[in-house]
Homo-oligomer: A and B are copies of this chain.
Amino acid sequence: MTPTFFDYVERLNSLLRSWQRDDVQVSTVPAVQLSALRYLSICNHYSDTVTGVTEYLGLTKGTVSQSLKALEERQWLVKRLDPKDKRIVHLRPTQTGLALIQRLATLQVLENALAQLGAEAEQQLTALLHELLTQIQQQESRKSFGICSSCRFHQHRDGQPFCGLTRELLPGDAIELICREHQAPA
């Protein structure tokens, strides 16, 4: 057997984990917490909840709830109750939390390697991965977590972005974030 796509993804992930462990500030932080925080930094206001994180990471509610509690204690995120539905808790990374995620995302090694590949190849790679994930989502009943503006419910009202599902006007920065209710156009 020779390495496949599957293997490369696994290897890449091993390396990412490995780098995280090398980072003194991050090494003590469990991977799930980092993933959760990262998700919260790229999801919109319909998706920044415990359930959102749960679906995205494919873990159980309990586990996620605990991880989020830990993140809150580290002051990397804050919780806010939903004004309409009092069951719902919104999670927002703090400045410190965002800075940490930023540091991780711009791992020097990875950045360099991507740069070496060339801008075109990088874009191609990202596009292919994006397409692959889209394909997967279409087969699965699983949530797609696509980008808001690419959703079949995405509309405009009075020149403002508008969600046809929730029937609400959308804040300007929401439309390029990912959403747990996302559905690809037919």
Contact = CB atoms under 8 A, between A and B. Distances in A.
A3 interface: yes
Interface stretch (A70-78, A80-88, A125-133, A160-168): A125-133
A24 interface: no
Contact of A128 (B14, B124, B131): B124
A129 B5 contact: yes
B7 A42 contact: yes
A125 B121 CA distance: 10
The complex is assembled from copies of this chain, and their number is 2
Contacts of A131: 117, 121
Contacts of A117: 128, 131-132, 135
Interface in A1-27: 1-18, 21
Interface string A87-101: 000000000000000
